[in-house]
Chains A and B, each alone.
Chain A
Amino acid sequence: MLAFGLVLIPWIGLGLFLLPKGWVKAGAVVLAGVEVLLFARALLAPMPSSLAVVNWNWIPSLGVHFHLSLDGLALFLVGLASVVTLAAVLASPNKQGPAYYFWILLAESTAIGVFTALDLVAFYVFWEVVLVPVFFLLGGWAAGPARRTALKWLIMNLFGSLFMLIGVVAMGVVHAQETGHLTFQLASLAHTTLVPQVAPWVFLSFLVAFIIKAPLWPLHGWMPPAYSDAPAPVTAVISGVLSKLGVFAMVRVLVPLFHAEMAQAEPWLMALAAVGLVYGAELALRQKDVKMVAAYGSLSHMAMMALGIFTLTQAGLVGATFYMVAHGVMLGGLFLLLGWYEERTGSRALTMLGGLNQSVPKLTAWFQIFALATLGLPGLAGFAGEYMIFQGLIQNNITVAAVAGVILVLAAWYMLRLFQGAMQGPRATGRSPADLTTAQVGLIGALGLLVVVLGIWPAGVTSHLPVLAPPATHALAHASHRKGGEPA
């Protein structure tokens, strides 16, 4: 029930339309706060499964179950969604109307739905519904050519997910033909074997949808305009929470359902992610807009998570999952800071600014912490995730590990360039903007605390994660496949 409650409560946000104008934000904060409390309840006390799981026979005629579970894999991503949403709601300007808050809450609800769904159709429903609130957040309130940005987001994402619909239905139909039992439960579908002519296409339909949603190179076309046009809290939600949907789905759906296909395609997948890693970092280095540095940096980080997943090793998968949580908190905070930065300076151009550390010391300090966490400083959240991913990479493919190592240096470079350009050096303008308010310091301080906690105690998360790697027998088959020989 708790999982269902987490999905349901944001819908109460419809009531925001009835509140008087001054109370709308307070109402949204309450709802987002309740979500965080529910997560805390799930985290702190061990629960009987009846509380953590709902499994209703939703549409018996189609074999669809409404199966949500707060399992170890989902738990911390749900937490990430609730925390980042609360932070985004708190950081939103007071003038926003009820629709804005409702769409943010709805994005949270559907993201939690994707994280907790264990039935493929329920998963697909949340996966697609999440597009609607973001479409409105991008198109309704953002600046400039926002309408085209919103339409691009929608059409690119639905392009992927509609082909995935064929894959979803095909999994169910093939399973029904094999067993005579129509179901879309992930646990049952994991034992379905597709015929060799169909399997690669179904796998591809899922993979492309996940790559677009993440986004990973080369299907990241919607990302730059969306991150650039959206207001800072919305960017924080998209990059902090929603970008995790794609990589999370790889762990949740691809690894159990298609590990044979993944192992077969592993060199290609690795190459794809490695190119994305280099591409994102390279573009982040060239950006002149502070928000775009972080956006392309994020593209590179997503590729890092994908690399971890594609290793198909326990270390890589755990590392990627941990990195999703850490990255969400870091990037959420970073984009909020950049939003405040833009608010104060009126500009996002890297070259125009500089020397802000003299006038806004608090903003500079927090910015530095988040920048260092993002580039993977040991002791902060980013490092632990990257370390585990490296462990998986070295077990699996030493060449890609070497490439990733070089990229870590680049990552340090572009983040420090961002920090230096914006904050240090001679003052570019004569104005002296106001520093962060106490409320803003409190908000970013809470996120900063999380970054530190995750950095020094990653086991708090990783010990909850289940065994994610495919069973050993499969791993053996993969190994022999990679060497090109027959299993011994």
Chain B
Amino acid sequence: MMHFLEPEIIAAVGVLATLVAAMLASSRSTVPYWFGLVFSAAALARASMLHLSTHLYGGAVLGDSYSIVVTVFTLLAVMAGLLLAWDPDKYGAEFPALLQLAGLGAMVMGFAGNLILLFLGLELLSLPLYVLAASRRTPLGGEAGLKYLLMGAFSSGILLFGAALLYGGTGSMTFVNFTAVHVVPGLMAAGLGFLLVGLLFKLAIVPFHMWVPDVYEGSPTPVAAFMAFGTKVGAAAALLRVLAFGFSLSAAWWGLMLGYLAVLTMIAGNMVALPQRDLKRLLAWSGVGNAGYVLVGIASHNLLGAQAALFYLLPYGLAILLAFTVVRVLEGREESPVTLASLKGLAYRQPWLAVGFLVAMLSLAGIPLTAGFIGKFYLVRGAIAADQWGVAVGLVVATIVGLAVYFRPVQQMFAPGDGASGRFTVGTGVVLAAAALGTLFIGIYPEPVLHAVIQSARFTWLH
């Protein structure tokens, strides 16, 4: 009965094993990193073999292909984070266990079917990240950690308040019971509102996004890479699940509201990314904009939109991992800030790194033959099928702004000049190659991935 949770169980055992390994091994040993990588890979392998749909505890735990897709995406983010951080001297022996723990939180958010588990997953995701964000012992690192902790705790509190109101209104914690039970509309609306604020905060939707640039800039790059992909996967998955299972009957008003927020987020995120000089801040703002794209799919409140939102997480995740890998290589061990000017001449100094970065930017800009285009195409289709023409137009306007954002660094790369260069490690090389090839593969032949995502999103729309 429990075997649909096996990937998560493997991951949880992996966390404990990695912790023990970190205690036993010397502080300079890569053994904990290997433990983390092997257990994550095993969980990934197990997850990709599962094909079933079931639930436990009256719908509190939902094991379906939706949660499997969320698990797979999260594990990809965890493994990429580990590979990027493959340097125990620098990041310490406890890094792998913390990162895996955060990943486990995102997975819990993927199968959570009631508010308790949702909150549990959210906190499991957030608490290790508070520590990791502050792990750079510089003023910027401290700022990042403190800001993330304060804002995160605040948003968790709001979410919890919303959950309490929802429980008060319906007498149930389980999503599927929300629509069936006789409801007190005002209380429910307030509860849903607070719940949404908590989740939108994690997803970094305008106007709940102010923490993102400082936290990404101050955090170690592997942590920022995981936050940009893994955290958004967890938050988007939970958001989609709670809205589709619990509130599909009131989709008219939250769909409209999220549509406005999506347009605002996409345009504002890309607009503010435009003048950024620090590459990590640019990627942070681009992450804000891209969260808006994901929200377009959720706001469409139809099956196509759910599929599109879930699918878009992967092209976005691969591209942002690719970009952070380039940052990681260029910043070197001393983590000097990477600006647009340090990209100058990169195409001639390190052509492979430049190719990887080019693929990332093309995908983020949504140029065809990269995964990003398929994602945007799908999102537009969801929005038009939902008759949300304004959202589709907003997406296009934001994408036009995004072009300038993503092609400026590319131009720098081909401009003559002396910028930074850095050395590949095996870890960064693997992430670069895998993410770039994945992006191109999905762009040229998206059918296998689309098929898996379409199968999984079917379960989100019960009504």
Contacts and interface: CB of A to CB of B under 8 A. Distances in A.
A169 B380 contact: yes
Contact of A62 (B396, B415, B450): B450
> Taking each of B408, B411, B450, B451, which has the highest tally of chain A beta carbons within 10 Å of its own beta carbon?
B411
Interface in B419-453: 445-447, 450-451
A165 interface: yes
A147 B450 contact: no
Interface string B391-435: 011001001100110011001001100000000000000000000
A140 B358 CA distance: 14
Given A132-B367, A170-B384, A173-B381, A155 B411 contact: no
A189 to B, nearest CB: 15
Interface stretch (A88-96, A122-130, A231-239): A122-130
Q: What's the dominant secondary structure at chain B's contact region?
A: helix
Interface residues of A, number: 32
Contact of A129 (B367, B384, B400, B446): B367
B341 interface: no
Nearest to B453: A61
> Taking each of A121, A126, A128, A165, which has the highest tally of chain B beta carbons within 10 Å of its own beta carbon?
A165
Interface residues of B, number: 32
B369 interface: yes
A162 B373 CA distance: 11
Given A132-B362, A139-B411, A162 B399 contact: yes
Contacts of B445: 58
B368 A173 contact: no
Interface in A158-180: 158-159, 162-163, 165-166, 169-170, 172-173
B404 A163 contact: no
B447 A59 contact: yes
> Taking each of A59, A124, A131, which has the highest tally of chain B beta carbons within 10 Å of its own beta carbon?
A59
A136 B354 CA distance: 14
B378 interface: yes
B385 interface: yes
Contact of A172 (B381, B396, B450): B381
A173 B384 CA distance: 7
B399 A125 contact: no
Contact of B384 (A62, A121, A125, A169): A169
Interface in A336-359: none
A461 interface: no
A441 interface: no
A60 interface: yes
A274 B429 CA distance: 57
Contact of A61 (B368, B396, B450): B450
Given A151-B407, A154-B407, A125 B368 contact: yes
B400 A155 contact: yes
Contacts of A124: 368
B224 to A, nearest CB: 28
Given A59-B447, A151-B404, A155-B403, A162 B414 contact: no
A95 to B, nearest CB: 16
A158 B381 CA distance: 19
A108 B217 CA distance: 42
Contacts of A135: 407
Contacts of A154: 403, 407
Given A125-B368, A139-B414, A62 B378 contact: yes
A170 B387 CA distance: 10
A260 interface: no
Given A125-B368, A170-B384, A158 B377 contact: no
Given A135-B407, A147-B415, A154-B403, A166 B384 contact: yes
Nearest to A157: B403
A129 B415 contact: no
B454 interface: yes
B387 to A, nearest CB: 10
Contacts of A166: 380, 384, 389, 392-393, 396
Interface string A43-65: 00000000000000011111000
A163 B396 contact: yes
Contacts of A131: 367
Interface in B370-387: 373-374, 376-378, 380-381, 384-385
A170 B380 CA distance: 9
A61 B384 contact: no
Given A59-B447, A61-B451, A162 B367 contact: no
A131 B377 CA distance: 18
Contact of A59 (B389, B414, B446): B446
Contacts of B414: 136, 139-140
Contacts of A170: 384
B207 to A, nearest CB: 26
Contacts of A58: 445, 447
Given A128-B368, A151-B407, A154-B407, A169 B381 contact: yes
Contacts of A163: 393, 396
Interface of A: 58-62, 121, 124-126, 128-129, 131-132, 135-136, 139-140, 147, 150-151, 154-155, 158-159, 162-163, 165-166, 169-170, 172-173
Given A132-B362, A155-B404, A162-B399, 8 more contacts: A128-B367, A139-B411, A151-B411, A158-B399, A159-B400, A165-B376, A172-B381, A173-B384
Interface of B: 362, 367-369, 373-374, 376-378, 380-381, 384-385, 389, 392-393, 396, 399-400, 403-404, 407-408, 411, 414-415, 445-447, 450-451, 454
18 contacts: A59-B447, A61-B447, A61-B450, A62-B374, A62-B450, A126-B368, A129-B369, A136-B414, A151-B411, A154-B407, A158-B403, A165-B377, A165-B380, A166-B384, A166-B389, A166-B393, A169-B381, A173-B381
